[in-house]
């Protein structure tokens, strides 16, 4: 099968060397030397400060909520956060899991990110934060969101799980918001098997988060506040250091795959509209068909030929019962019903990609 993605596996020899070091030091987790090394390397690579490595992208979101205090009730009632329904379940479920009510506002029909124009109507006295998603690595309208957040005294936490290495107006997109979170899951462009990170705007928030990921412990005999275990371990960091060393080759190969799709499918199908200054990371290749029926038919035809495209992100989250069903978000619902993410990874053979494109073109015209 050709799957929607294929984890990037770096040099085995180099990974073995890192593992030898772990055996020699007998130090496996709790802020070990490889976690420290990966933290500095990522800060430098991404051009950011105040980066904290954690054990996965979901905990990255949850630690950010706690570090910024948005989980604290408002006048005895659960806090709320405004977020997008067009995302992976973890964005909204992490809020609910932490006792914060996710309140959906609809997306922009072109960029597929939370539309700033829909945010203010969803704000109530319980709203503490906005949690937009740079979906598929596209930049949200960060300036407009910032204006709304300032006006209503709300925190902004960007779920930037898909936005590793993305540049916006020449700088890291991760610099926007009070915090931005990343997922380093195996299926991501940069990965540590499982893993994630948070980039904080302020040093004091980073300091608190460092405490929170280690049970609130600050010394051998001091526990300052309630925390959890969200630490990255040395084996994860070893994988990350190896993947990072090969990032340029990986990016180059993906960009070629991305371009070939764009050249052939960009005209007949709807692609995600991106800001003109966006330095994109080619993490995903989503396409929108003119009807749900067509999207489903194309997915079935691909599957028959051994290709698994995915309906990311279907269904639109306002319809997910465990999140407490909410009013329809028509734009998100519509895009979610017609979208398919096509296989994209560095080793996708040109002949396989040609086969995928040919099948899509045939079904589209049928
Ligand atoms: N926020 C956003 C916006 C996210 O997209 C995500 C995760 C998160 C937060 C949470 O971050 P983490 O806590 O996960 O770090 C996959 C990933 O598991 C998930 O990390 C990712 N988003 C999401 C978009 O995709 P599924 O349910 O699609 O996973 P699964 O098992 O179906 O795998 C996807 C494809 O990759 C399949 O075709 C199989 C293939 N695969 C998968 C794995 C794990 C492999 O070939 N090898 C592998 O090792 O969620």
Give tens-digit pLDDT for 293-329.
999 999 999 999 999 999 999 999 999 999 987 999 9
The CB of 64 under 6 Å from ligand 1? The reply is: no
Q: Given pLDDT bands bounded at 50, 70 and 90, which one contains residue 134?
A: very high
Q: Given pLDDT bands bounded at 50, 70 and 90, which one contains residue 366?
A: confident
Mean pLDDT, the chain, as a whole number?
97
| Residue 77 buriedness (CB in 10 A; 0-12 / 13-18 / 19+) | exposed
Residue 17: predicted pLDDT = 98
The average pLDDT across 157-183 equals: 98
Q: Given pLDDT bands bounded at 50, 70 and 90, which one contains residue 262?
A: very high
Tokens coding 291: 């009807």
Q: Given pLDDT bands bounded at 50, 70 and 90, which one contains residue 96?
A: very high
Q: For 203-236, write each residue's pLDDT tens digit.
A: 999 999 999 999 999 999 999 999 999 999 999 9
Q: Given pLDDT bands bounded at 50, 70 and 90, which one contains residue 16?
A: very high
Residue 227: predicted pLDDT = 98
Residue 324: predicted pLDDT = 86
Q: How far, in Å, from the CA of 185 to the mean position of ligand 1?
A: 7
363 pLDDT above the threshold of 80: yes
The average pLDDT across 50-79 equals: 97
Which candidate, 109, 159, 122, places its Cα nearest to that of 139? 159
The CB of 159 under 6 Å from ligand 1? The reply is: yes
Residue nearest to atom 12 of ligand 1 (CA): 57
Work out whether the CA dihedral 354, 355, 361, 365 comes out positive or negative: positive
Q: Which atom of ligand 1 is nearest to the CA of 194?
A: 15
C-alpha to C-alpha distance for 296 and 302, rounded to whole angstroms: 10
The CB of 57 under 6 Å from ligand 1? The reply is: yes
| 240 against 366, higher pLDDT | 240
Q: Which of 54, 138, 161 to mutate to test the pocket of ligand 1 (most atoms within 8 A of CB)?
A: 161
Q: Which atom of ligand 1 is nearest to the CA of 184?
A: 15
The CB of 217 under 6 Å from ligand 1? The reply is: no
C-alpha to C-alpha distance for 266 and 286, rounded to whole angstroms: 10
Residue nearest to atom 49 of ligand 1 (CA): 186
The CB of 7 under 6 Å from ligand 1? The reply is: yes
The CB of 21 under 6 Å from ligand 1? The reply is: no
Residues 296 and 339: beta-carbon distance below 8 Å: no
Helices and strands per DSSP (H, E), number in the chain:
11, 13
pTM: 0.98
Q: How far, in Å, from the CA of 137 to the mean position of ligand 1?
A: 15
Q: Which of 114, 157, 183 to mutate to test the pocket of ligand 1 (most atoms within 8 A of CB)?
A: 183
């Amino acid at each position: 099968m050709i799957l929607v993605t294929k984890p990037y596996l770096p040099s085995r020899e180099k990974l073995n060397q890192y593992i030898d070091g772990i055996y020699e030091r007998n130090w496996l987790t709790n802020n070990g030397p490889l976690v420290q090394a990966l933290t500095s390397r990522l800060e430098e690579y991404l051009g950011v400060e105040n980066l904290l490595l954690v054990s996965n992208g979901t905990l990255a979101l949850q630690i950010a909520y706690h570090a910024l205090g948005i989980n604290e009730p408002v006048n005895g009632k659960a806090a709320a956060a405004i977020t997008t329904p067009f995302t992976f379940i973890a964005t909204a479920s992490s809020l609910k899991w932490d006792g914060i009510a996710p309140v959906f506002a609809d997306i922009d029909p072109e960029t597929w990110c939370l539309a700033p124009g829909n945010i203010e109507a969803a704000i109530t006295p319980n709203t503490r934060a906005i949690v937009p998603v740079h979906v598929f690595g596209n930049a949200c309208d960060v300036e407009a969101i910032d204006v709304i957040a300032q006006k209503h005294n709300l925190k902004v936490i960007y779920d930037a799980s898909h936005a590793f290495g993305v540049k916006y107006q020449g700088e890291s997109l991760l610099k926007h918001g009070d915090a931005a979170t990343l997922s380093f899951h195996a299926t991501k462009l940069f990965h540590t098997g499982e893993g994630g990170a948070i980039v904080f705007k302020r040093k004091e928030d980073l300091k608190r988060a460092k405490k929170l990921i280690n049970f609130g412990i600050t010394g051998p005999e001091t526990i300052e506040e309630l925390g959890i275990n969200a630490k990255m371990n040395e084996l994860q960091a070893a994988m990350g250091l190896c993947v990072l060393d090969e990032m340029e080759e990986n990016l180059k190969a993906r960009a070629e795959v991305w371009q070939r799709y764009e050249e052939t499918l960009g005209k007949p199908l709807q692609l995600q509209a991106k800001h003109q200054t966006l330095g994109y990371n080619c993490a995903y290749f989503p396409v929108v068909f003119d009807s749900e029926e067509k999207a489903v038919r194309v997915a079935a035809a691909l599957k028959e030929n051994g290709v698994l495209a995915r309906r990311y992100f279907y269904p639109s989250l306002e319809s997910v019962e465990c999140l407490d069903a909410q009013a329809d978000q028509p734009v998100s619902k519509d895009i979610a019903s017609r979208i398919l993410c096509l296989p994209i990874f560095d080793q996708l053979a040109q002949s396989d990609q040609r086969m995928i494109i040919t099948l899509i073109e045939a079904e589209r015209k049928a």
